[in-house]
A and B are shown apart, each in its own frame.
Chain A
Amino acid sequence: MVNPQMVMYEEEFNQIQGVVDRLVKDANAKVVFIVDKNGQLIAASGDVDNLDTTSLASLTAGNIAATGGMAKLLKENEFATQFHEGEKANIHIQLVGNRVILVVIFDSKSSLGLVRLRVRRASEELNHIFEALLKKVADPGADSPFAEITDEDIDNLFND
């Protein structure tokens, strides 16, 4: 496979969760979440109970992919920031380290300026965490929990 496997461990997850939890408070946001570029939700914080984060994650990744496609056509490397303004809710989308996507949903209790400011700091922190995570994943000593699954394990999934 061309891409390294995306893996999340407890230690890094807790660090990432710490960053998004803090960003919700610092930016006065409603919801903050992190998605990988393939649309898999990595972490979320804030008022997520009534939100379909799985769908939002997939659509965010689609959005970033489409914008990245446009950038390529314009010979730009990437459009790293997007902002969508609604009547009540706004979405700020930031590509972090060209690897993961940081999404902040906020309303009139916050402002674009504050969100941008806080996102900048959070992006730097996240970038460090994901760099360390990638190094750890690339370490050949790390075993996949799936190395020892049997045909039977797989078949059992499909026994209705």
Chain B
Amino acid sequence: MSFINYMAREINCKIVYYGPGLCGKTTNLQYIYERTNPDAKGKMISLATETDRTLFFDFLPLALGEIRGFKTRFHLYTVPGQVFYDASRKLILKGVDGVVFVADSQVDRMEANEESVENLKTNLEEQGYKLEKIPYVIQYNKRDLPEVASVEELREKLNPMNVPDFEGVARTGVGVFDTLKAVAKLVLTELRKGGP
């Protein structure tokens, strides 16, 4: 649920990075944080365990620029990927405007990817959303690792709706901004359709 503030002439949108544990959601946000102009970003917050696994969420506020005199601000969140943090994942999806699914391309993580997509659908439905109806893009991450599934195979299993998808290496930034731009565009396009 985006927030239009006529007083501050701002529009605020919430984008959630979803995906299985260790797929690179936090790494995506860290790369965006490192490569964004200081005046366009706020502080990145990570609620993580002592071993740097996301415990609740990461949060990164970004300002993208102006449209028709309105500042566009995007709040990027990640969910904790580990299966047993499902209660927290549900909470973070509240009020979401767009979702990025980060898939782990490694062959032995295919099942974890599929489970996570199913979990995303279930949790969205609990909030009254349908995955088919919300701005949604996919990133096939870790393309630089040796034992990865082909993009065709990943597409077939994870992208039946044929949403925009990107190959990524979040560690070095490959595909990170393409993914973000794609979801941001979809969110803004949705805003044009929607209105209050």
Contacts and interface: CB of A to CB of B under 8 A. Distances in A.
Nearest to A53: B42
Contact of B91 (A6, A65, A142, A156): A65
B91 to A, nearest CB: 4
Contacts of B129: 1-2
Question: Which range holds the interface residue count of chain B?
Answer: 35 or more
A4 interface: yes
B5 interface: yes
Interface in B75-109: 75, 87-88, 90-92, 94-95
A157 B65 contact: yes
A1 B1 contact: yes
B94 A37 contact: yes
B67 A154 contact: yes
A156 B64 CA distance: 10
A4 B70 contact: no
Nearest to B134: A1
* Chain A interface, DSSP helix/strand/loop, else mixed: mixed
Interface string B1-27: 111111110011010000000000000
B45 A66 contact: no
A95 to B, nearest CB: 14
Contacts, number: 143
Contacts of A144: 4, 191-192, 194-196
A6 B2 contact: yes
Contacts of A9: 6-7
Contact of A149 (B12, B88, B192): B192
Contact of A58 (B75, B128, B181): B75
25 contacts: A2-B129, A5-B194, A8-B3, A8-B4, A8-B5, A8-B7, A13-B6, A37-B94, A39-B59, A54-B42, A55-B43, A66-B56, A69-B87, A69-B91, A144-B192, A144-B194, A146-B67, A146-B70, A146-B188, A149-B67, A154-B189, A156-B65, A156-B67, A158-B64, A158-B181
Interface string A64-106: 0110110000000000000000000000000000000000000
A122 B8 CA distance: 22
Contacts of B14: 38-39
Interface string A117-160: 00000000000000000000110001111111101011111100
Interface string A1-33: 111111111100110000000000000000000
A157 B72 contact: yes
A69 B185 CA distance: 32
A59 interface: yes
B6 A10 contact: yes
A52 B43 contact: yes
B127 interface: yes
Given A38-B14, A69-B87, A146 B95 contact: no
